[in-house]
Structure 1
Amino acid sequence: MSLLLEEGQIENLKLKNRIVMPPMCMYKSDNSGELKTFHKGHYLARAIGGVGFIILEATAVEPRGRISANDLGLWDDSFIDSHKKLNEQMHSFGAKTAIQLAHAGRKCNVENETPIAPSAIAFSEDKPFKMPKEATIEEIKRIKELFIKAALRAKLANYNAIELHAAHGYFLCEFLSPLSNFRNDIYGGSLENRCRLTLEIAKELKQKVDLPIIVRISADEWMQEGWNINDSIYLSKELEKVGVDSIHVSSGGNQENTNKPLKIKPLYQADFAKDIKKEVNIPVIAVGLITTAKQGEKLLEEKYCDFVAYGRELLRSPNFTFIAANELKEKELIDSSYIRAF
């Protein structure tokens, strides 16, 4: 059997293949933060299409934690039932599910909401970005509690795992970088201090929620003096120590402009995943313009990662898993209703 289509495991969560649908913002909710008909069809289609692990898009832990007014939310118990129904449907097709819990920090663009961040540094001088308020220690404590409460709701909604969003320039990622965190308290300054909040939340999630915990990071923010792969290796090792079960490796997003050489091409982030995989004993998920079954197979064969996330490709083709099964000569894995297409 191909590596891409064989079973995998994250902590005690068994996955039928190593194809992951990563979280991708759809901006299809409204100011309520609720799941809409679009979301139900969008995610269920990928479950029917054979994806082993579906991670729902960035879902805010409070209204000012949204990137836009069209983001999903999980800040209230009223959201639980619709997520539970969606999970029941996705699980019925053999997919396992996670939800990415997020806070937009300084990248919040919701009208009438004041962004909050580690330091009062705007992401951009251009609209719609606003100058964020620097978070107090009490506000940081409250946001930590919001992540835990949202994760407990996710568990009640029958998600199989939680992904903590510490990538792409959002609240937790902003704390990690010396370019967006100018604090002089326990959450700023040294690498250890800048990693503190992400580690505290991850540790508390593991202790209180009793689900596999994944953390998504930006391995490099593509700035000469910014967060880099060595920092990410340190963070990944520390995350493993507090009980995190998998690292999901992306990059960028914390700066409007970059000053490191960057070529956006297939597999451009895979080396980051490989560097981290060498240093930890927990599964690593690679992502970044991976579009074919053969690319995924290569990444697994050459030990770049343990799971392969197909983002844009799953937007183009909900049945990518069946296409992969055909390409890798495992047509028996194609759903009987679709086999005639191959």
Structure 2
Amino acid sequence: MKDLFDFCEFGELKLNSRIVRTGLFESEREASGNLTPEIYNRYENIAASGVGLIITELFSLYPRDVFSKTSHTVNYTRFVREAKDLTDLVHVYDVPIFAQLGFVHFNKRTEQNLKPEDLTIEDIRKIQTDHIIAAQKMDFAGFDGMQLALGNSYFLSRFISPSSNFRDDNYGGNTLNRLRMVLELIKVIKQNTKLHINCRLNAFDGTEDGMTVEETVKIAKLLEKHGVDSLQITQPILPQFQEYENDEKNPLIDATEKIINEVSIPVILGGRLRKQNQINNILNGTNIDFVSMQKPFVADPSFLVDWKIEGNGESFCQNCYNCISKRTSTCHLKPCSPEYYQKSD
């Protein structure tokens, strides 16, 4: 039987468990972008807890993006030095760490929030170049891999979706063309870095003529063919996909299984898991080998320690989504938080 605390292989990497920690926002960074002692402490607690793989909070590619004020950036002078301290700290616990990279809006001078069809070839080359430069910095900083944000509502997810890419050149139309920009930058990153490349993909997006599981399977196979080392399957936050107490009713599980059946690289199930027995049931009732968690690590970076001891743990996280809606890396319901006491008063 599989267990979430199994030692296992993830491509060429060795993991201490099947749990992948996914980051989102970093509200504790300094205004200049620098990492703070609180950030280092949190990563150390996560690494020491028994997690298998850490994916960082978002590194926002562009300074004027919607998440740039609540995210890390690679565009400050001390990035490589500070990030190297972070990766060295995590590696003490034999835990690999990936840097998450993405952006939501592409702005060009006075032109704001350009759509995929608005981009010139020069704009596409700029986006590719910016990703490649960021990847080289991440490689220098000692990250084991990088995660490309091709899912949720990030810009590249819209570029690869048939419901939002209306280009009529080699970067629009069929699946290969819509993915071409990503495949080209992946090729250069693989040629010039040692990074494991993970792509975060929507299994479906709930939009008319948008991403279906069948379309995601095609994209997953193309990504594998062009050098991607692993995938994380997720979905946009939509009302019809908010919460599933019964595993069998969660369409993301079924979609992830279909993708796993079509590729040979590791695939991570993402989203809304917070019970130890629930995760083990998924691991043993499906062909899924890895699951990711985000909000439970916000509620308590060390919760996996208790899970090892109890054997039937449940995260304190209440899925209230305040950490997401308020774009913070802190829990607003824990007894130690100021919000908790204000609410109690």
The interval holding the TM-score normalised by the smaller chain is 0.7 to 0.9
- 2:205–2:235 Cα contact (<8 Å) kept: yes
Structure 1 residue 72 displacement after superposition:
0.8
- The answer as to 2:192 corresponding to 1:213 is no
**Structure 2: distance between partners of 1:2 and 1:241:** 29
What are the Cα deviations for residues 86-123 of structure 1, in whole angstroms up to 9, with x where unaligned?
111121123221111112225x8xxx99434414xxxx
**Structure 1: distance between partners of 2:275 and 2:76:** 39
Structure 1 residue 10 displacement after superposition:
2.4
Structure 1 residue 54 displacement after superposition:
0.7
Alignment of 1:218-257 (within 5 A): 218-252=202-236
Residue 125 (structure 1) aligns with: none
Residue 173 (structure 1) aligns with: 157
Residue 91 (structure 1) aligns with: 91
Structure 1 residue 76 displacement after superposition:
4.9
Identity %: 30
- 1:64–1:104 Cα contact (<8 Å) kept: no
SS at match of 1:63: coil
TM-score normalized by the length of structure 2: 0.81
Q: Please, which of 263, 268, 279 is the counterpart of residue 296 of structure 1?
A: 279
Name the count of aligned residue pairs: 308
Q: Assess, with a 3 A threshold, how the Cα gap between structure 1 residues 34 and 171 changes in structure 2: closer, same or farther.
A: farther
SS at match of 1:149: helix
Residue 186 (structure 2) aligns with: 202
**Structure 2: distance between partners of 1:207 and 1:300:** 34
Structure 1 residue 70 displacement after superposition:
2.5
**Structure 2: distance between partners of 1:15 and 1:299:** 19
Please say which of residues 198-207 and 61-70 is displaced more in the overlay.
Answer: 61-70
**Structure 2: distance between partners of 1:153 and 1:263:** 36
SS at match of 1:318: coil
Residue 43 (structure 1) aligns with: 43
What are the Cα deviations for residues 112-165 of structure 1, in whole angstroms up to 9, with x where unaligned?
99434414xxxxxxxxxxxxxx22111111111111111111111111111111
What are the Cα deviations for residues 243-294 of structure 1, in whole angstroms up to 9, with x where unaligned?
21111000125xxx77xx5453245322221111111111110111111222
SS at match of 1:93: coil
Structure 1 gap ranges (5+): 120-133, 330-342
- 2:58–2:99 Cα contact (<8 Å) kept: yes
Please say which of residues 30-39 and 84-93 is displaced more in the overlay.
Answer: 30-39
- The answer as to 2:149 corresponding to 1:151 is no
TM-score normalized by the length of structure 1: 0.82
Structure 1 residue 321 displacement after superposition:
1.9
Structure 1 residue 31 displacement after superposition:
5.1
SS at match of 1:248: strand
Residue identity in the other structure for 1:168 = N
Residue 100 (structure 2) aligns with: 100
Structure 1 residue 44 displacement after superposition:
2.0
- The answer as to 2:315 corresponding to 1:324 is no
SS at match of 1:181: coil
